[in-house]
Structure 1
Amino acid sequence: MIIATPTTADGQSAAAWGKAHWIGVADVQPGTDGPQVTAWQIHEVAWDESHDAGTHGSHHARIVRFLKEQGIQAVVVDHMGDGMQRVMNTMGIPLLPATPGDAQASVLAAVRATTA
């Protein structure tokens, strides 16, 4: 499963989705001891800079393009605006709860919580 989450440059969980500067993308696969991150990449998306450049629709379109390009199947996040939540719902992308600290650990905790 390909999962996105807002991060800091050094891989810690970040607060907001639509104003994120960095997005971590994890490929999570089943392992013998539960889910494991088998690939991890941090993308500099700079949505914090582009958020107020143009309409909300154009900003949402940038995010949707990223989600489609990366093949995102779920998002781990602690905050997302109502409009973006509707977009995620329309796309069929589940929102999973984030936890503070290491972003990869947050992704794994969210996956474990949904499969428990």
Structure 2
Amino acid sequence: MIIATPIDPEGRSAHSWGKAQWIGVADVRDGSVADWTVHEVRWDESHDAGTHGSHHARVVRFLKEQQIEAVVVDHVGDGMARTLHTMGIPTLQSSPGYAQASVLAALRGHHL
């Protein structure tokens, strides 16, 4: 399962999805992270650079390109929550600490 989560420079869970600077993408297999890639998306800079629609389009493009199946995050805005729901991408609650551990904890709490 391919999971995306916002991260900080040290690899810990970051607060916001739509204003993330970096997104970690985990390929989770058999209960562990088989692959981990960090993408510098700079959504923190692009968030207010245009309309919400253009920003959501950037996020959607990333989700499709990375074949994301779920998002682990502390917070998403209402519009982004609707976008993720429409795409069939569940949003799971992140936990403090290292993002890879947060992804695994979120998956243990849900059967996707």
Class of the TM-score when normalised by the shorter of the 2 chains? over 0.9
Q: How well do the aligned residues superpose, as a CA RMSD in angstroms? A: 0.5
Choose from 81, 86, 90 the match for 1:85.
81
Report sequence identity in percent. Answer: 69
Who is 1:27 aligned against?
27
Gaps of 5+ in 1: none
CA distance in 1, matches of 2:21, 2:78: 19
Gaps of 5+ in 2: none
Aligned length: 111
TM-score, normalised by the number of residues in structure 1: 0.94
Greater Cα radius of gyration, structure 1 or 2: 1
Choose from 91, 96, 108 the match for 1:100.
96
Structure 1 residue 64: deviation in Å? 0.2
CA distance in 2, matches of 1:108, 1:61: 28
List 4+ stretches of structure 1 deviating above 6 A: none
TM-score, normalised by the number of residues in structure 2: 0.98
Report Cα offsets for 1:60-87 as digits up to 9, x if no partner. 0000000000000000001000000000
SS at match of 1:10: coil
Correspondence list, 1:66-85, <5 A: 66-85=62-81
